[in-house]
């Protein structure tokens, strides 16, 4: 493998990692704060993609410029977070925080099943493709290979901004500190007057917005079709389990490992490319059960 190929695979790996990181970020945030592994996260991702494609197509048909696709991505993501994430937490999850883990997981699994069919009822079964955002940014050529600016530059930049932004938000704003306090000790937080219900609702909506944003950002690069959420959810599970559940920076490293692993596999041994995320996850968990960056939790006695 020469240097050129090494770099080419690096670019592909980074852009792929950026996308799965954005989705995994919402999942790990929700788990970190609420201790709930949200299986429906994949559906929110898919709906974010569908919503973006539909809104963009609609506005383009009205004669707006393709560049409008970018604000529409944010609009779609917020819509997903507020219209779906909010009610899911408020109507369902709130009722099961004191129930066993397995029931919490199954509630989100049930939501996943429902949303999979809702998607099909709303958007049908034909694949959607809406690439105007990607075309608006054009291409760059590196070592004779053409990349889209969208994938090579925009996606990694967005991922980096989200990573830093979330970190600053959690550590340096009042709401962020309230969230961290609730995460640390819910009862103590409530005793000093923090409304834990509101914190949970807010966190879940933010997590859902990130899922929707992941879908929105993926939408110009791929066909949007039924089943895309089910694939994404296992991949982002692999990312956050490798990183350590609830680890935000760790998720970035794990996403990079999985993204790069996959793109190098395409050059070296294409047949194992699909295996890479799960192999990395198992190897890491076998050596460090709490994930790369997780701290060993205290065992319940």
Site residues for other proteins, 254-283, by CB under 8 A, read 262-263, 266-267, 270-275, 278-279, 281-282
Q: Phi/psi class of residue 138: alpha, beta or left (left: φ > 0; alpha: ψ in -120 to 50)?
A: left
Identity of the residue, 12 or 178, whose beta carbon is nearer to other proteins in the bound complex: 12
CB 243, CB 285: distance < 8 Å: no
Could you tell me the smallest distance in angstroms from the CB atom of residue 121 to other proteins? Answer: 7
Residues 108-127 that bind other proteins (CB under 8 A): 109-114, 116-118, 120-121, 124-127
**Is residue 8 close enough to count as binding other proteins by CB under 8 A?**
yes
Residues 183-222 that bind other proteins (CB under 8 A): 218, 221-222
Alpha carbon distance 182, 190 (integer Å): 8
List the one residue from 61, 102, 174, 192 that touches other proteins (CB under 8 A): 102
**Is residue 107 close enough to count as binding other proteins by CB under 8 A?**
yes
Could you tell me the smallest distance in angstroms from the CB atom of residue 194 to other proteins? Answer: 25
List the one residue from 99, 167, 171, 198 that touches other proteins (CB under 8 A): 99
Residue 72, CA distances (Å) to 28, 78, 79, 150, 300 in order? 25, 10, 10, 16, 46
Give the binding range for other proteins (CB under 8 A) out of 62-70, 146-154, 166-174, 199-207: 146-154
Count the Cβ atoms, other than its own, within 10 Å of residue 37. 20
Residues 25-84 that bind other proteins (CB under 8 A): 37, 39
CB 292, CB 284: distance < 8 Å: yes
Output the six-digit token pair for 210: 């990130």
Could you tell me the smallest distance in angstroms from the CB atom of residue 249 to other proteins? Answer: 20
Give the end-to-end CA distance of the chain in Å, rounded to a whole number. 52
Identity of the residue, 105 or 181, whose beta carbon is nearer to other proteins in the bound complex: 105
CB 25, CB 166: distance < 8 Å: yes
Give the binding range for other proteins (CB under 8 A) out of 130-138, 180-188, 196-204, 249-257: 130-138
- Nearest alpha carbon to residue 281 among 248, 258, 265, 299: 258
Identity of the residue, 174 or 286, whose beta carbon is nearer to other proteins in the bound complex: 286
Identity of the residue, 4 or 173, whose beta carbon is nearer to other proteins in the bound complex: 4
Burial class, 266, CB count within 10 angstroms (exposed 0-12 / middle 13-18 / buried 19+): middle
Give the binding range for other proteins (CB under 8 A) out of 53-61, 92-100, 156-164, 184-192: 92-100
Identity of the residue, 172 or 300, whose beta carbon is nearer to other proteins in the bound complex: 300
Residue 136, CA distances (Å) to 51, 128, 139, 228, 273 in order? 19, 18, 9, 25, 31
List the one residue from 123, 200, 204, 237 that touches other proteins (CB under 8 A): 237
List the one residue from 58, 65, 94, 103 that touches other proteins (CB under 8 A): 103
Half-sphere exposure for 12 (CA within 13 Å, toward CB): 15
Could you tell me the smallest distance in angstroms from the CB atom of residue 274 to other proteins? Answer: 5
Radius of gyration of the chain (CA): 19
């Amino acid at each position: 493998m020469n240097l050129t190929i090494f770099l080419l695979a690096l670019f592909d790996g980074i852009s792929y990692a950026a996308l799965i990181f954005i989705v995994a970020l919402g999942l790990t945030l929700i788990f970190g704060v609420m201790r709930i592994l949200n299986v429906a996260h994949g559906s929110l991702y898919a709906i974010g993609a569908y919503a973006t494609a539909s809104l963009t197509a609609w506005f383009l048909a009205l004669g707006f410029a393709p560049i409008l696709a970018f604000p529409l991505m944010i609009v779609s993501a917020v819509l997903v977070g507020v219209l779906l994430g909010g009610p899911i937490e408020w109507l369902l999850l709130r009722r099961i925080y004191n129930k066993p883990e397995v029931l919490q997981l199954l509630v989100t699994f049930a939501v996943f099943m429902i949303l999979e069919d809702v998607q099909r009822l709303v958007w049908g079964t034909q694949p959607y493709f809406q690439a105007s955002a990607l075309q608006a940014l054009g291409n760059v050529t590196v070592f004779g290979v053409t990349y889209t600016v969208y994938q090579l530059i925009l996606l990694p930049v967005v991922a980096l901004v989200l990573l830093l932004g979330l970190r600053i938000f959690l550590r340096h704003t009042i709401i962020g500190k309230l969230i961290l306090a609730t995460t640390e000790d819910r009862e103590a937080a409530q005793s000093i007057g923090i409304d834990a219900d509101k914190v949970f609702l807010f966190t879940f909506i933010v997590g859902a917005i990130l899922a929707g944003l992941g879908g929105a950002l993926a939408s110009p690069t791929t066909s949007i079709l039924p089943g895309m959420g089910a694939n994404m959810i296992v991949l982002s599970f692999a990312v956050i389990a490798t990183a350590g559940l609830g680890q935000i920076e760790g998720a970035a490293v794990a996403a990079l490992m999985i993204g790069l692993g996959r793109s190098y596999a395409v050059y070296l041994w294409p047949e194992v490319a699909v295996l890479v995320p799960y192999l990395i996850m198992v190897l890491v968990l076998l050596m460090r059960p709490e994930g790369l960056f997780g701290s060993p939790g205290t065992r319940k006695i």
